[in-house]
Structure 1
Amino acid sequence: MSHSTMLRSLSQQLLRNNKNLLSAAGVRQASAVSGTNLKDVLEKLIPEKQKEVVEFRKRKGSAKAGEVTVDMMYGGMRGIKALVTETSVLDPDEGIRFRGYTIPDCQKLLPKGAKGEEPLPEGLFWLLVTGSIPTQEQVKAISKEWIERAALPNHVITMLNNFPSNLHPMSQFSAAITALNSESKFAKAYAEGVHKSKYWELVYEDSMDLIAKLPTVAAIIYRNLYRDGSTPCAIDNNKDWSWNFTSMLGYEEPSFTELMRLYLTIHSDHEGGNVSAHTCHLVGSALSDPYLSFAAGMNGLAGPLHGLANQEVLVWVTKLRESLGGEVSDEQLRDFIWNTLKSGQVVPGYGHAVLRKTDPRYTCQREFALKHLPNDPLFKLVSQVYKVTPDILIEQGKAKNPWPNVDAHSGVLLQYYKMTEMNYYTVLFGVSRALGCLASLIWDRAFGLPIERPKSYDTPHLRKLVGDS
């Protein structure tokens, strides 16, 4: 079967799946808890879910959910079923589902911004926290609340303004989040002996505060490094979270704000086993407050095998364009890709530890590009890479997944809107990832999950364990 035929088949299957799911989604939306205050909604919802989990563990607590092999233990724990994450699940064939909803579902069902067509991240956060599609009024309430919580303490602003220009944006981002720990309601209440039944409420308060403050932190970093230290504009009470963020960055093009709404939505969560989400969960299990837990996750996101991957893609595409010039034939592109593989390198942006199909996050960004920048030369080149690469990787026979992931496309879109500072891209990813990490952290404390402490072995003991003496 040719690459194009496979793509058509996958697209048709996705459409069929989405039609079936949207019907079910409508039922879930109708059953959503009423009210515009998210904390009030959680106060009603959490006891129900706590009871559900307690009863499930009583019935099936000793049931086996899988097995662990030696290869899994040496191979980065891939495939080990060992975490509970309520907010999203990554299916190898279907891609990410946020509380059961696909990305196309979210694009269709979640409330939109003024004159916009892309989902608002505020709505996605409500969905991640509650499991229900919010109303427009509920999303407006979140936007308003984040505006009210957005102010930064002076010591964090001073610290950001005194960082040297050669300190990486992600280092600045992580350090500022750690310093915001001075504002932690959880840490203060824990020190005063608060009962553990109240932990989730305090984590909720810290999470809402932190998410509200992140765009301002990120905007100060951007302007200090790339806009001569100019001050971000004031937050506008009439704008949503993404719109205020793009304005503070200094971008007023409406379609860039639309891109940021989409970007912040689709990068928010990717189940619990990825480095940033797992790290946040792990550090949070020690009852570190949300600021310290999320900062730890951001240090993981800063790695080139995780959040820096979109930068790696752009570097490779730039080298490709410099090597081959303007118009590139498919044959020239095939030779370049084969040379990349023969040199021992990978094609950045292709493959995924879990996915075994084109990443739906890639697909929705491609659809955005087809709508807003169909003739952009860099987009055309990335499209050509998409056309050629999977067949080559299939022929090579080493890649378990020859299809593109989210990082293969996001940088191209940012470049088009003149955000050319590649070192900064992971900060955008980090602002988005807060939605998923912190929504999960609220539920970790609601369920009273204990400190995480898996058993480890050295190689001699592992050999003995499996009878290889």
Structure 2
Amino acid sequence: MLERMKKKREARLSASNDPSNFIHKMARELEEKDSIDSELFIKHNVKRGLRNSNGTGVVVGLTRIGEVLGYSVNENKEKVPMEGKLYYRGYSIEELVQSCIEEGRFGFEEVTYLLIFGQLPTQKQLNDFNALLGEKRELPVGFARDMILTAPSRSIMNKLARSVLALYCYDDNPDDTSIENVLRQSIDLIGYFPTLIAYAYQAKSSTFDNKSLHLHYPIPELSTAENILRMIRPTGQYTDLEAKLLDIAMILHAEHGGGNNSSFTTHLISSSGTDTYATISAAVSSLKGPRHGGANIAVINMINDLKRNVKDITNHKQVEDYLVKILKKQANDKSGLVYGVGHAIYTLSDPRAKVLKGMAKQLAVSKDLVDDFMLCDFIEKKVPELYAEINGVEKPMPANVDLYSGFVYSALDIPTDIATPLFATARLSGWCAHRLEELIAGKKLMRPAYNCVQEHLTYKPIKDRK
């Protein structure tokens, strides 16, 4: 019988020559069957990408956590450009960061407290909160060995999502969605994340890049930024300026309103009543997508490509010529996009980019990278002008936070592999706040509608099909 089955299988393979031919053929057919004429979206008044016709987002909820202002809308429902503003729980991001700079202290933990609890902490409250985070810097016993080192991944984001799901098994009360229990789980995850991404990176580097394995224990008394730099570097060494700049970058990435894809995912998944680990893993998976969280990597790759192809990055004419090639889809990834310039919401300016640019300049001076910093500055100023010349359309195109966060990560020698995981570690604070808000204020399963445009068909017996 086994021999007959083997012969039948060989006959099938012989008939198709290559099993992948079936996949290739069916994929082409599926692309045709599942395509939907763009006119049908207009006919059914479908807001593709949950965007209105003027580019604004469809309002699907209310939030107290974060506010993103990039334009106003006039009486004709047209977008009117304005200087960008970002608020965390009603506080301006510029004020929050400036306070940390003036007082020479780390601020990510304070901002995390603000986002989750809805108020600025007293010194005692912040100390107590930091102590709770410190208790959770080290992973559960056996977790690093069993869940990270035993099964490393080439993608740190993939490993991060899997690790979050695995932590469900280490929780004695994982499915309780009471606010007290979700708060406890949120603090646990915020404490764990730096170690998760650092160990996932070390496992990946050792297994796939043939580098030495360096596993430094986290130190509870150190800030999130300090622990990250300590654990990803072989020597565990870093400067105060490096740690403070990473801290500011994380503050700027901690929250961006409820409508960004991963925060909306958090609301969506939470509305089903599922557990915290499933919800946060879904948010990580959303951020992994190149249309969302991969933008800072795209900037790093674009700058590296430019430096390989431009002999002198201080020669503005050479840089301009290459930017023109990028815009004409002749260079870099041929997408026609200059990454780090332009934003879906911000029109005249991205407040995060303005804040980070000032600190990035200090880092550039300290590391003798002024030419690289000025390259970013030139891209910021020149691209809107070149875009208008090439496309015949003038529109506000401010530098976004990714232009300077990409520079900062490169200057800090942070591997490209870990850029988006760092984003996730910062944004986790916002995700946890949005999950709690959904559980408290939402209390309704999200159930949007899709109109079906497939005509009804008459069933055919298999013998009559061709």
TM superposition score normalised by structure 1: 0.75
| Superposition deviation, residue 290 in structure 1 | 1.4
- Contact (CA 8 Å) 2:363, 2:411: kept in 1 or not? no
Residue equivalent to 1:187: 174
Distance 1:356 1:141, change over 3 A: same
Match status 1:73 vs 2:73:
no
Q: 1:235 aligns with which of 203, 218, 221?
A: 218
Q: Confirm or deny: 8 A CA contact 2:230 2:237 kept in the other structure.
A: yes
Q: Which residue of structure 1 aligns with residue 274 of structure 2? A: 288
Aligned counterpart, 1:171:
158
Q: In structure 2, what is the equivalent of residue 245 of structure 1?
A: 228
Question: What residue identity is the alignment partner of 1:131?
Answer: G
Displacement of 1:138:
2.1
Work out which of the residue numbers 95, 110, 113 in structure 1 matches 2:85.
Answer: 95
Residue 358 of structure 1 is aligned with which of 337, 342, 349?
349
CA 72–309 in structure 1, closer or farther in 2 if over 3 Å, else same: farther
Q: Distance in 2 between matches of 1:139 and 1:386?
A: 37
1:306 paired to 2:279: no
Between the two proteins, the alignment pairs up a number of residues equal to 381
CA–CA separation in structure 2 for the residues paired with 1:334 and 1:459: 47
| Match in the other structure for 1:153 | 140
Helix, strand or coil for the counterpart of 1:269? coil
Paired residue for 2:78? Answer: none
Structure with bigger gyration radius: 2
Residue 85 (structure 1) aligned with residue 72 (structure 2): no
Is 1:104 the equivalent of 2:91?
Answer: no
Which residue of 2 is the match for residue 445 of structure 1?
Answer: 439
Percent of pairs with identical residues? 25
**Does residue 371 in structure 1 map to residue 366 in structure 2?**
no
2:189 aligned residue:
210
Contact 1:177–1:295, Cα closer than 8 Å, also in 2: yes
CA contact (8 A) 1:99 1:128 kept: yes
Paired amino acid for 1:159 = M
Deviation track 1:243-281 (CA, whole Å, cap 9, x = no partner) reads 223222234222121122112111111101111111122
SS of aligned partner of 1:304: coil
Q: 1:136 to 1:164 in 2, by over 3 A?
A: same
Q: CA deviation at 1:178?
A: 0.9
Structure 2: distance between partners of 1:72 and 1:89:
26
Deviation, 1:397, is: 4.7
- State the Cα deviation string for residues 136-170 of structure 1 (Å, max 9, x = none): 332222111111133323453122002245x2111
* Pairing 1:32-47 to 2, within 5 Å after superposition: none
Cα contact 1:89–1:96 (8 A) shared by 2: yes
> What amino acid does structure 2 have at the position aligned with 1:160?
I
**Partner amino acid for 1:355?**
Y
Task: Provide the secondary structure at the position in 2 that maps to 1:181.
Answer: helix
Per-residue deviation, 1:189: 3.6
- Give the deviation of 1:119 after TM superposition: 4.5
8 Å contact from structure 2 (residues 164, 277) kept in 1: yes
Q: For residue 466 of structure 1, what is the aligned residue in structure 2?
A: none
Structure 2 gaps of 5+ residues are 1-41, 71-81, 330-334, 456-466
Which residue of 395, 401, 409 corresponds with 2:404? 409
Q: Quick check: 216-225 or 426-435, which moved more?
A: 216-225
8 Å CA contact retained: 2:134, 2:221 = no
1:4-24 deviation line (CA, Å, top 9, x unaligned):
xxxxxxxxxxxxxxxxxxxxx
1:335 paired residue among 321, 339, 349: 321
Per-residue CA deviations over 1:204-258 (Å, capped at 9, x if unaligned) read 1111111111111111112223364634333334322322232222342221211
Q: Which residue of structure 2 lines up, in the alignment, with residue 49 of structure 1? A: none
- Between the aligned partners of 1:387 and 1:117, the Cα distance in structure 2 is 31
1:224 aligns with 2:203: yes
Whether the 8 Å CA contact 2:271–2:442 is kept in 1: the answer is: no
Residue 320 and residue 367 in structure 1: after superposition, are their counterparts in 2 closer, same or farther (change >3 A)? same
> What is the one-letter code of the residue matched to 1:243?
E
* Distance in 2 between residues matched to 1:401 and 1:288, nearest whole Å: 41
Cα deviation, 1:13-38, whole Å, max 9, x if unaligned, reads: xxxxxxxxxxxxxxxxxxxxxxxxxx
